[in-house]
Amino acid sequence: MIVHLRINEYKELETFICPVTHTPPEFPEKAMEIPHATKKRLGLDDERSWIITTEVNRFIWPGPDLRPVPGGGFAYGPLPAAMTRVLIAQVKANAQDRSLLVVGRTEYVAK
């Protein structure tokens, strides 16, 4: 789930995304379960899924780390606004307490 966008020093769009997993989180307070109704609206499977808020993957948009979703495009759709606010607040809190890991997913080449 996209949680932050910024233009870097090379004028590229850096995208920061929280990973989504079927694996129950070790620390439930550091993750958000995606409600079944939201998963259904987004066209995701019926298995339980969580957004991990202690990690963000950073990459350049568009880039080699993107994979098309079924039906075309690169996004399943937005989360409900209230859920998005909680997600952003959790990521910010994890950044403040230094439990947020930023994982670079794009090779940066100096221009």
Instruction: Check residue 66 and give its pLDDT.
Output: 65
Q: What is the pLDDT at residue 43?
A: 86
Q: What is the pTM of this model?
A: 0.80
Look at residue 35 and tell me whether its pLDDT is greater than 90.
yes
| pLDDT of 42 | 87
57 and 105 Cβ atoms separated by less than 8 Å: yes
19-33 pLDDT per residue, tens: 999 999 999 999 999
pLDDT higher than threshold 80 for residue 84: yes
Query: What pLDDT does residue 75 have?
Result: 67
- Cβ contacts of 22 within 8 Å, gap of 6 or more: 47, 48, 49, 50
